[in-house]
Chains A and B, each alone.
Chain A
């Protein structure tokens, strides 16, 4: 029981990070139909900016989070303007490749500045062991889940209540109709990229706080695919639920089965989902038979 609780908690932590990364991914896909292979690098950039501000400059962690989010927003806008906007209307393979190119470039810039060695992250979240239902867990994991949950709720409110959020949903639904209602589609694209980069950066901070900063953080980018396929590529609740399910699944297979199967189980799930229900749990089904 102790092990089960431990695994559940670490699975939830992992799932929370995956959910944050997947949320940004879904946001970009919904708004602009672009599959972002550089999502993992957004996490990487977030983690390293936080590391630079808090660990190297020694500023307070609140400042660190604000700076990280601002950098991520600026990065997202820049990329949208200078890389993605010229690509509007290009075939899918070009869109996939351009984000792959971005991921390579971002990774190179980050490792060019900070090197590739794994470093200790300036831990700002307390990680004392406490007792939860008889299982000993460290508080940083609980904090990670809480932070992720706060952001997820905030995004949900943003999309339901704020006019920008509603504009984004409108563009996702029908670009032409949104344009004719006076919504600037360009602005919405820029917003989608910057919000996505910001959520990913938060995810990066959380994961770096638990595991330390290294180039491995960008590996989350690939694990996002099973999450979004499971939840449905264009569904925000799907991204959250998918993240939690995949995170738990990985923790349980890692704990009970072993053999490194936890690294591959998300992809096995991915193939099964694609075979049985390609649009995922909550994805919009576009029926096209060939």
Chain B
């Protein structure tokens, strides 16, 4: 009868996958990821692709909010920077897909770091409000810089090519997104085993103590903004090439809020939580939509209120999670595991 997980040496404690159950789950996850595109229908594959892109963005945001404790309401704008940079590079300069996306990510990292400068002086809600301003200002620049971005008109981006093959359709794009997501996860998980990641967590937990222990606050906060924005930009760039048509409406303050909701519902400061949260927030409106279509025969009026139902459920889910389980899906999953591990003597 075990009462918990204990390690007898440091190597085991520091390993990424520490228990047999974790290793088995990893294998299952890989099997799922590899087999999914063959088994899933086109609609399901669309959802999977959306989840994948959202997960990359959510992990990026979680680096900043969940791990470093800097609240950002500028997610939507940073995604827009990634999307527009990548899209314009591919469209106007003819840059190949594999070059445009990383360049866009780095550009977004730079922009993110720039808008992270106020974090030197501002904390908590003042910073949140400053990033809200960043969101509005970037959005204004995109809609008014007609010469470059096309203003309020949609930007049409040619379908990308990789290794001489056109990457179009859900199936081919699935592998691109999966590749990026796996890279993002591996990088982020390892980031928080390194000096930099630990410094981020120290800043979140107690910034003055972190400063006293030799963490250069300004440098690390900017680094947090940059690395977070890098992945947010990656998610934006992927959105651009995946959709092939983008407009500023995709990247408003509502996107920022959606991503914050993902990491709150998934679990702040958790990489797997970001993925769960992304899946939850993509699936919730889709399920409501299907529900509305299924009930169309019985309650015809339901179709019309589905958008409001989606918006209302979005609010209710956030409120309920914050009140009932502020640590999110990750904590619920942990509780379930603990329950069965200790069953039937849970105390």
Contact = CB atoms under 8 A, between A and B. Distances in A.
Partners in one complex: yes
Given A101-B319, A112-B305, A264-B136, A278 B144 contact: no
Contacts of B305: 112
Given A86-B323, A94-B322, A105-B316, 8 more contacts: A90-B326, A92-B71, A93-B65, A96-B71, A101-B317, A104-B315, A108-B311, A109-B312
Q: Which of A35, A106, A109, A278 has the most CB of B within 10 A?
A: A278
A229 B314 CA distance: 28
Nearest to A290: B207
Interface residues of A, number: 40
A229 B129 contact: yes
Interface stretch (B25-33, B174-182, B256-264, B330-338): B256-264
A96 to B, nearest CB: 6
A83 B319 contact: yes
A131 B217 CA distance: 58
Interface of B: 65, 71, 118, 121-126, 128-130, 132-134, 136-137, 140, 143-144, 207-208, 211, 217, 253, 257, 260-261, 264, 268, 305, 308-312, 314-319, 322-323, 326
Interface in A64-116: 83, 86-87, 90, 92-94, 96-98, 100-109, 111-112
A35 B140 contact: no
A259 B146 CA distance: 12
A226 B133 CA distance: 9
B144 A101 contact: no
A87 B264 contact: no
A101 B121 contact: no
B133 A101 contact: no
Nearest to B312: A108
Contact of B308 (A92, A101, A111): A111
Contacts of A270: 129-130, 133
Nearest to B127: A274
B322 A97 contact: yes
A194 to B, nearest CB: 19
B141 to A, nearest CB: 9
B126 A274 contact: yes
Contact of A90 (B132, B134, B322): B322
Q: Is the interface of A mostly helix, strand, loop or mixed?
A: helix
Contacts of B144: 259-260
B208 A101 contact: no
7 contacts: A86-B323, A93-B268, A105-B312, A108-B308, A274-B126, A278-B121, A290-B208
Contacts of B309: 108, 112
A263 interface: yes
Contact of A100 (B133, B217, B260, B316): B260
A156 to B, nearest CB: 26
A102 B311 CA distance: 11
Contact of A105 (B134, B140, B261, B315): B315
A97 B264 contact: yes
B211 A290 contact: yes
B217 A103 contact: no
B125 A35 contact: yes
A82 to B, nearest CB: 9
Contacts of B124: 92
Among B124, B260, B318, B319, chain A packs the most CB atoms within 10 A around the CB of: B319
B332 to A, nearest CB: 16
A225 interface: yes
B208 A271 contact: no
A271 B318 contact: no
A102 B319 contact: yes
Closest A-B pairs by Cβ, 9 of them: A105-B315, A101-B318, A108-B312, A104-B315, A112-B308, A108-B311, A267-B133, A264-B140, A101-B319
Contact of A225 (B71, B123, B132): B132
B238 to A, nearest CB: 25
A94 B123 CA distance: 15
Contacts of B322: 87, 90, 94, 97-98, 101
A275 interface: yes
Nearest to B143: A260
A225 B118 contact: no
Most B CB atoms within 10 A — which of A92, A93, A278?
A93
B130 A274 contact: yes
Contacts of B130: 270-271, 274
Contacts of A92: 71, 124-125, 128
